[in-house]
Structure 1
Amino acid sequence: MPRRKQGGLDYIASMPWPFGLVLGVVAFLAIRYGIGWYFSTAGGPALKGTGELALGGAFTPLAWIVLAMCWVAALASYLKQHQRKVLLDAQSGLDSLRNISWREFEMLVGEAYRRQGYRVEEQGLGGADGGIDLILFKDGQTILVQCKQWRARQISVSTVREMWGLLAHHSADGVKIVCANAFTRDAAAFAEGKPIELVSGQALVSLIQSGQEAPRSARSRIAPKLEAEAIPRCPRCSKAMVRRTNRADGKVFWGCSDYPRCKGTRPAHA
């Protein structure tokens, strides 16, 4: 499968940011101490001399450089992850989808599928108008994704045919075509019965909303509401009830909060 050429730092930056941090530490220890130890114990006289130099600190500057490069890539990964998170959580509907750039649209689609448990590779092969934009991996399957942010035009059957050809060419398991609008009838008819999923703008909004994190203020309102709903009402006066303990048998029950004026009760399991 063709891919955009990636350097080592690009690859590290595309991984979760903790990977870059750990890799930097491992590389530092390997260069600063591992090379010297290996050469001094497993090599001949010439290599032992190199090993002694390495143990003496000859490779220390290189070790620090590699550590710094890995951590810079990890920082880039963290910032990009944060950008994707903010972008997805800020979406509120079709209008917001259509008001971002095509590159942000691709990033948004990728993050939406990450939150559904997919591993996502951003290809950058399609540009603004076609090709493979993302590759999804999950449960041993490979899915090709094309993103279309056309605001006014519906996605035609030619786009679906193109991706069908790419699926066969790359031996992928399926295709997803994601747009901010809708698909023509011919496009839907061509995709029927094939491993091609057409994700319309409205379906994408639903996908995004299923992965959005609830604002902290909303979460703080949910718990008191659930707690209030769990407290039963008195069957006599409809006031809130409180848990009480029967002094005779020690059993817990619900008693009216207006006791002794109201003596309504409920079993504790009700």
Structure 2
Amino acid sequence: SALDGYNVCIFAYGQTGSGKTYTMEGPSVEDEENRGMISRAVLQIFSSTRELEDKGWQYEFEGSFLEIYNETIRDLLGNHAADVKHEIKMTGTGGNDVMVTNLTTVPITCENQITDLLKMASRNRAVGETNCNERSSRSHSVFRLKITGCNDITQEQCKGTLNLVDLAGSERLKESGATGQRLKETQNINKSLSNLGNVIMALGNKENHVPYRNSKLTYLLQNSLGGNSKTLMFVNVSPREENFSETLNSLRFATKVNQCNIGTATKKSK
């Protein structure tokens, strides 16, 4: 769908420790048998690209990898200079394209590049220990693949974006035992996940105002949540008995999301 000119977004949602990062990135970048969603999606994209070449299509790909930590955007492929600020801006005709200032973007010409990008992003990502998970992702990570295609035979052009999102884990404060910096992280995580839910509900209810700007996550992904988009959400649940109440909360959220119908997407092509 992204190659056809749609904005596509795939999320992993669930409590901390339920396997979201494993779902999106796999156990390690070297483990080819258990590849994560990011690697598999890029492999699928390049495989489909080769098939479309016969029909005259040529594509260019540009990748970026960022995290949203305590409502601040951090470039996972950059040098983390403290004085570099990243802001979300609307660009393009009618201000419909979302871009992030000062973000490292990498031209991607083959599948193997993804391994190196995942390694670098994994080293730079904010993780910390809580009572719920000894290596909890304390941020939302977003891998973005911008796709530009043109067809020499039909003179068509299309633009699509693939967003692959590993959300930070939801957790109840009393169970995570968070204090100090971990407490601030947990509060920001839970607030942004709540805002994501509010946006999805507003879209599903066809409300006039959709509160995209209430969090960095929804503001960044606004083009991939409503309108010309296709969205899929994995909901990860823990098999542990002591996590039963969190599992129930995740499944309730999944039910709400599943009931949202935001209409039929249209592809962006000229």
Same fold judged by TM-score > 0.5? Answer: no
TM superposition score normalised by structure 1: 0.25
TM superposition score normalised by structure 2: 0.25
Higher relative contact order (CA 8 A, sep 6+): 2
Larger fraction in helix: 1
Larger fraction in strand: 2
